[in-house]
Chain A
């Protein structure tokens, strides 16, 4: 990689108004640190407490989605580079003129794409009142998996952000796609 690429990456992030970024495997410790940094940043930006909480909440859910996506058996040193990359994700927190945007990207197996797509489309078809009912219904009947997931994350993200979820699945090969999610918080 030519050294000037460092500047190119920097410029891209600057132009995109990136406040915070991370690429790699999302661990529990990393989550704690990122949330801590983000909280301090918002504090210094003098955002309203309401906005700070919304951003924090949505970021927690987004990061924990990425965290749960990591296969606990795959993070060891014997894993191949390709296997490790599949565990890896990207998170960008962007601050535009008047809104925060959280962008995430992670690999997903192709066979899981249609189910997730369907779920996101269902969520996007709902207004805030419908989302509220849907959340309550899911909350009441869902069970927490051994990993600690309750299947409520995306509904909560949509509800708190107050916006539709922008997403895209990029097919990488016949087994894997890259899932891009863009969440705007007014």
Chain B
């Protein structure tokens, strides 16, 4: 199985999903008009990965912005990882937000309220 690597665009984040170390990273901005088109290959990759995952899986969400279309897609991605967690892999979420960005911190809390995965909130100077 291959790693999934996509470079960032004006409306979509950089994606690095690494099979070997179980590190799944989204970085940048996610504001496409139709986010399903963008997230579909990510779901497929995670489904595939889930059949023989790394013992530890960490999703690093380092988003500067995301729109409401993406917010639903992110939730669906977390739900896939939630199903994976506890079985053959331990899944952790690292939620990054920029200094003083309360909106992004709150967005992390929104997912935390819905998804049963351990969240680590990480404040950094700049994403």
Contact = CB atoms under 8 A, between A and B. Distances in A.
A139 B67 contact: no
A144 B34 CA distance: 9
Contacts of B36: 144, 146, 148
Interface of A: 28, 31-32, 35-36, 49-50, 53-54, 56-57, 60-61, 64, 67-68, 132, 135-136, 139-140, 142-144, 146-150, 152-153, 156, 160
Contacts, number: 76
Given A148-B69, A156-B68, A54 B33 contact: no
Contacts of B65: 53, 56-57, 60
B104 to A, nearest CB: 8
A132 to B, nearest CB: 7
Interface residues of B, number: 28
Contacts of B1: none
B103 A160 contact: yes
Contacts of B68: 61, 150, 152-153, 156
Contacts of B98: 49, 53
Contacts of B73: 144
A101 B102 CA distance: 20
